[in-house]
Amino acid sequence: MDDAKAEDLEDDGTSLPVRSTPKKSKAAKAAPTKVKGKKAVVEEEDEEASPVAAAEENEVEEDEDDLKPEDAAKARENLLATLKGSGKDPYPDWKAGDPVPYAALCTTYHKIEMTTKRLEIVALCSLFLRQVLRLTPEDLLPTVLLMINKLAAEYTGIELGIGESLIMKAIGESTGRTLAIVKADQKEIGDLGLVAVKSRSNQRTMFKPKPLTVHGVFKGLTDIALIEGHGSQAHKVSGIMKLLSAADAAAGAKIDITKDKGGPSEAKYIVRTLEGKLRLGLAEKSVLVALAQAVVFHATDYAAALEGKKAKLPTSEALEKGESILKSVYSELPSYEVIIPALVSNEFKLDKLREVCKLQPGIPLKPMLAKPTKSITEVLDRFDGKEFTCEYKYDGERAQIHFVAHDSPLQYATTVPSSGKSAKGIANVFSRNSEDLSKKYPDILAALPNWIKDTTKSFVLDCESVAWDVTEKKVLPFQQLMTRKRKDVKVEDVKVKVCVFAFDLLFLNGEALVNKSLRERRELLHSAFAPNLLEESVKASCEGLMVKMLDGPASSYEPSRRSQNWLKVKKDYLAGVGDSLDLVVLGAYFGRGKRTSVYGAFLLACWNPKDEKFESVCNIGTGFSDEALADLHAKLSAVVITRPKPFYAHSAGTKDQPDVWFEPKYVWEVKTADLTISPRYRAAANEVGSDGKGVSLRFPRFIKEREDKTAEMATTSRAVAEMYRKQESVSKSKGPSVDDDFEY
């Protein structure tokens, strides 16, 4: 493919350069080959890797939500032992063929909430889902979605996002209490779910409502989420009232909210679902493992019933195989709406699932992530003796473009409407978090015909969308990209143009490519598109390098994982802390002097996914311009709350408390000189083992807002702990590996 100069780019600023590849090398065996705009040709091919070598090369960072292999094995053995000891149903009032009672799900929620043992949580989920499959399999999908606190996949855009004020209004109106009393209870108790329990248990009813079912609650919540237009808030309150009015119909006696965290109250869990936080310590990957186990059990029972035989418990090896299959399938096709119906129609045979559930254009998969590094030595050590490639890393927004041509025999998977469909077919642009960005980037969709060759009928493209100066022919800062509107953008109104840097191809013309080597995927990428390559001056605008394994099993694409086979090195990695942190704004302190009219400093926190808490990590007041402070004051004032959430972990000292607290909505990128231990903050306190003291940032500096990230995508406590341990001033012993969601 011939190179093209920067001036050959399309005048509209929306172009598709293949990410530039500065060097490709076999570490310690061949000298790096420098290139200018072109790929270097590697003449020497790797020998085929052995299975053992492949397993070692494909080693990935341990996911915080994943069980260690030894713990996973123990979980399977414990589950089998439990079932051997008792064959009784845990919910005797639930009969075969009846809808799944919402009370049964809430009983499972409560059992999970009362334990911190990961293995026990997985077993509780597995036993419950096994019974759903045995008694009411048609309710499996809404049950799983409620357990992971979702109504649909992220790309559909269907989510609740109900504010406290609406929920409190619904609690008051459904229980006959004034809004003032509900607010007073919330101020005293601090948990709106428990406020609902207290309000509901004090209510007298003339008629006993019909018990709630999982299907009914799921439908009610979905109906609430879909309400739009004039009077939508009143309609949402009405929908919430209907659910709360029927909650705890079978509870009988008054509930004591001071005991057992309020018990298995339906009202409590309905409110927490509306808030978007069940606060159970139940990770989605635990539910996925439990679902796999339940399906293996049910498949064994189902096959035995067809043969008229007594079912036997599956082996631990069968459970392990089932978990592996479902995890693999879900990594390529993360849609329970597709996977669960496929399980049912294939008689719960997981082996068949791989054949019918594969990567499809229209359903975004979670992107492969790179491990941050601090030194070139670390990179060379990792790739010693291996063929690898380097690519420029640009400071933009990770994107995934899906496309199916009108004349393709393949059907586009999703029914989500695309804004500005490509002239050649149906297309969508998805974010790294699977959000549909098609309405934000109609110019990308409009430009697709300029890139796609006639032989390309379907694809999934992994890329970076970067702000582009059409006049100067150069990359613009990330902040410029974030000034674009997120919805209802018209191509003719776009002020900030974009350039799409394509670096990986995951699907082409009906075939998934994730198991192919990076070399093969790159060759197919060049064959499927007609890109423009940028001139050398663009190099100055990159923020670092991506170093990737080029050949062999280790170079396959690993969806949703942060792998050691992709390393990233930023320009500022060699000075101080390796990577910046993405932190959530929890509170603010009133400004003084010239900052009197705005917030002068802010309390920031990292995210602990295991405990589902935001843990304070620093106060910050540096790096802000006067204009930025004014803008942030306006934004944050709109999300002020009266008291910290129950899932905020911060010092109890009065002098350390912010003047105002916020909803956990905004994420900021922050740079720090180093990290230290402090009694004032709670970040990673359980990770570093310092008598309740947490990790704190020294001299933190605001870099930019991260509008592309949700609060749960912030840097995790484990990541903060590892960054602290990696400092030269700290012990040489290595902490646990991290699979945190950094910006790439």
Answer whether 90's CB lies under 8 Å from 128's CB. Answer: yes
Q: How far apart are CA 428 and CA 447, in angstroms?
A: 12
- What CA–CA distance (Å, rounded) separates 274 from 161? 7
Alpha carbon separation from 614 to 607, 719, 724 (Å, rounded): 5, 13, 18
**Which residues have C-beta within 8 Å of that of residue 96, sequence separation ≥ 6?**
134, 135, 136
Instruction: Tell whether the model's pLDDT for residue 428 goes beyond 60.
Output: yes
Report the alpha-carbon distance of residue 466 to residue 482 in Å, rounded: 10
3-state SS assignment for residue 187: helix
DSSP state of 537: G
Asked if the model's pLDDT at residue 621 lies above 60, the reply is: yes
Say which residue, 83 or 494, is predicted with more confidence.
Answer: 494
What residues are paired with 459 via a beta bridge?
403, 508
Q: Answer whether residue 86 shows pLDDT above 80.
A: no
Tokens of 39: 């790929």
* Arithmetic mean of pLDDT, 166-189: 91
The Cα 116–Cα 125 span in angstroms is 14
pLDDT at residue 42, as a whole number: 29
Does residue 40 carry a pLDDT above 60? Answer: no
100 pLDDT tier (thresholds 50, 70, 90)? very high
Higher pLDDT, 543 or 466: 466
Please give the residue that has the higher pLDDT: either 347 or 422: 347
Q: What is the pLDDT of residue 573?
A: 47
pLDDT tier, 23 (very low <50, low <70, confident <90, very high otherwise): very low
Average the pLDDT over 301-318 and give the result: 81
Contact between 236 and 162 (Cβ < 8 Å): yes
Share above pLDDT 90 across residues of the chain, in percent, rounded to a whole number = 45
Give the Cβ contact number of residue 197 at 10 Å.
29
End-to-end CA distance of the chain, in Å?
27
Residues in the chain: 744
What's the pLDDT band for 205 if we cut at 50, 70, 90?
low
The answer to whether 602 and 679 are in contact (CB under 8 A) is: no
Q: How far is residue 88 CA from its own chain's centroid?
A: 37
Comparison of pLDDT for 699 and 534, the residue scoring more: 699
Using an 8 Å Cβ cutoff, are 404 and 470 in contact?
A: no
Handedness of CA 682, 688, 692, 694 (dihedral sign): negative
pLDDT of residue 415: 62
Instruction: With beta carbons less than 8 A apart as the criterion, state whether 6 and 538 touch.
Output: yes
pLDDT tops 60 at residue 535 = no
* Mean local confidence (pLDDT), 345-357: 89
pLDDT tier at 137 (50, 70, 90 boundaries)? Answer: very high
**Is residue 44 very low, low, confident or very high in pLDDT (cuts 50, 70, 90)?**
very low
* Dihedrals phi, psi of 670, to nearest 5 degrees: -130, 140
Residue 57 has pLDDT above 70, yes or no: no
Residue 180, SS3? Answer: helix
Residue (of 432, 389, 423, 482) closest to 706 by Cα position: 482
Q: Are 718 and 64 in contact (CB under 8 A)?
A: yes
SS3 485: coil
Is 199's pLDDT higher than 90?
A: no
**Of the candidates 584, 710, 714, the residue with the CA atom closest to the CA atom of residue 161:** 710
Among 192-206, 359-373, 465-479, name the one with the lowest average pLDDT: 192-206
Q: What is the mean pLDDT of the chain?
A: 82
692: left (phi over 0), alpha (psi -120 to 50) or beta: left
Q: Note the Cα 237 to chain centre separation in Å.
A: 29
* Confidence bin at 610 (pLDDT 50/70/90): confident
**The one-letter amino acid at 217:** V
pLDDT at 381: 86
Judge whether residue 417 has pLDDT over 60. Answer: no
Q: What's the rounded Cα separation, in Å, for the pair 382 and 61?
A: 13
* pLDDT confidence of residue 39: 33
Matching residue, tokens 């003047």: 659
Considering Cα of 245, then 251, then 254, then 260, what sign does the dihedral take? negative
Catalytic residue selected from 26, 366, 393, 516:
393
CA-based torsion, 308, 311, 317, 322: positive or negative: positive
Residue 119 above 90 pLDDT? Answer: no
Interhelix angle 214-226/232-246, rounded to 10 degrees, is: 170
Q: Give the CA radius of gyration of the chain.
A: 27
Task: For each of the domains in the chain, give its residue range(s) and CATH number, in order of start.
Answer: 6-27+367-574 (3.30.470.30), 69-153+282-348 (1.10.3260.10), 164-275 (1.10.3260.10), 581-726 (2.40.50.140)
pLDDT band at 19 (very low <50, low <70, confident <90, very high): low
Q: Quote the CA–CA distance of 135 and 99 in Å, as a whole number.
A: 9
Q: What is the mean pLDDT of residues 589-603?
A: 87
More confident residue, 478 or 556: 556
When comparing pLDDT for 538 and 413, which is higher?
413
User: Sorting pLDDT into bands at 50, 70 and 90, what band is 731?
Assistant: very low
Residue 393: active-site member: yes
479-518 pLDDT, tens per residue? 788 888 877 788 888 889 999 999 999 999 999 999 999 9
pLDDT score of 188: 87
Over residues 240-251, the pLDDT tens digits come to 999 999 998 666
**Tens-digit pLDDT profile for residues 277-299:** 888 888 898 999 999 999 999 98
The token pair that represents 207 in the structure block: 């008629």
CA separation (Å) from 681 to 155, 187, 338, 580, 697? 36, 23, 43, 19, 10
User: DSSP of 618-668, one letter per residue?
Assistant: EEE--S--HHHHHHHHHHHHTTEESS--TTEE----GGGS-SEEE-S--EE
Q: Which residues make Cβ contacts (< 8 Å) with residue 232, sequence separation at least 6? A: none
